[in-house]
Amino acid sequence: MARRSGYWIGFFLVLGALGAAPLVLPEFWRRFVTEILIWGLLAMSSDILIGYTGVVSFGHSAFFGLGMYGAAFGLLRFRPNLWLALAFGLLAAATVAAFVAYFSTRLRDIYFSICTLVFSQIFYVIIFTWTEVTGGENGLVFRQPPLSVPGWQRAFTPATLHWFVLSIVTLTYLALRQVTRSPFGMVLQAIRENESRTMAIGYDVKRYKIVAVMLSGLCAGLAGILYAVQNRFVAPNFVFFDVSGEVVIFNVLGGMGTLVGPVLGAAVFFLLREGLSRYFTEYYLIPVGMIFMLTVIFLPQGLLGFLRRQLNQ
């Protein structure tokens, strides 16, 4: 009971600090924290597969990018409406996730990872070459939709956009936390520990993995929508496989199978990149890579696992 109450105290303290961030931080860092929340949501979505189901996906750039392009399509083809952008973005991400899940879940281990990588590159080529719809390598630019509810509408400010993103990320985290603690989540963890035994005791492993991929892809698409709304711009490089590689790094760096760990990993990665790029310019990835390797070797449970061990001492 004490541990549970301590968790919720820490949760609300962090939530309060993030909520107060736009009131105390300068403009650059306010935007920086908002972006970390969005990338943290993408990392959290990937953790459903990597940390809980035990399969590594290199296709999250496709879900993220298609969420962005779906939102852009809704905003460009219709009048700027936030909820319409969310609907189109989630529909695009869900459709792609269902397509990828149907084929990739027939495979296991490294073959699953390669299959998701291939699909992400296929969608990248489609987006890059279908210039009439996607704008090709130039991408698409659009107006930011206002924050609106029935009878009330206001343009986003940096602060209200931050609070909107924080609300979406928090609600998604709480929903995924419930999912991972449900019987469905327990089966996913059983698949991670021993897929053959889970199948032998009667669970339809393929169906569970399909749902996991679709849920993960839907959350990744939601992150893409938020990123598009914040930046008012989408481009093919967000669908390229290096985005998926960075998401895997976020998970390993922060701690897999925790939901919070990947968000922490994303924050540390971007803080390192921002700080080191000022001194090493284009070579900043060398020290970042060294820190990542040291984390894998000496902190196999990630930064969150290390912090938990220190607090429990």
Q: What is the pLDDT of residue 150?
A: 66
CA separation for the pair 2, 234 (Å, rounded): 46
CA separation for the pair 77, 256 (Å, rounded): 39
3-state DSSP assignment of residue 6: helix
Extract the tokens encoding 92. 């695009």
CA separation for the pair 184, 212 (Å, rounded): 9
Q: What is the pLDDT of residue 1?
A: 59
In this structure, what is the dihedral angle of CA atoms 124, 127, 130, 134, given to the nearest 10 degrees?
A: -160
Contact 303, 254 (CB under 8 A): yes
Walk along the chain (313 residues) and give the pLDDT tens digit of each residue: 556 677 788 888 999 999 999 889 888 889 999 999 999 999 999 999 999 999 999 989 999 999 999 999 888 887 778 888 899 999 999 999 999 999 998 888 889 999 999 999 999 999 999 888 888 888 888 888 888 776 677 888 888 999 999 999 999 999 999 999 999 999 999 999 988 899 998 899 999 999 999 999 999 999 999 999 998 889 998 898 889 989 999 999 988 988 999 999 999 999 888 888 777 777 777 888 888 888 888 888 888 888 877 766 5
Q: What is the pLDDT of residue 3?
A: 64
Extract the tokens encoding 235. 């481009």
CA separation for the pair 83, 296 (Å, rounded): 40
3-state helix, strand, coil in the chain (%, to 5): 80, 5, 15
| Domain total in the chain | 1
Give the angle 130-131-133 at the CA atoms, nearest 5°: 80
Q: What is the pLDDT of residue 178?
A: 94
- What's 218's domain CATH number? 1.10.3470
Instruction: Give the range of the structural domain holding residue 99, as residue numbers without chain letter.
Output: 2-312
Q: What is the pLDDT of residue 2?
A: 55
Contact 202, 74 (CB under 8 A): no
CA separation for the pair 16, 163 (Å, rounded): 11
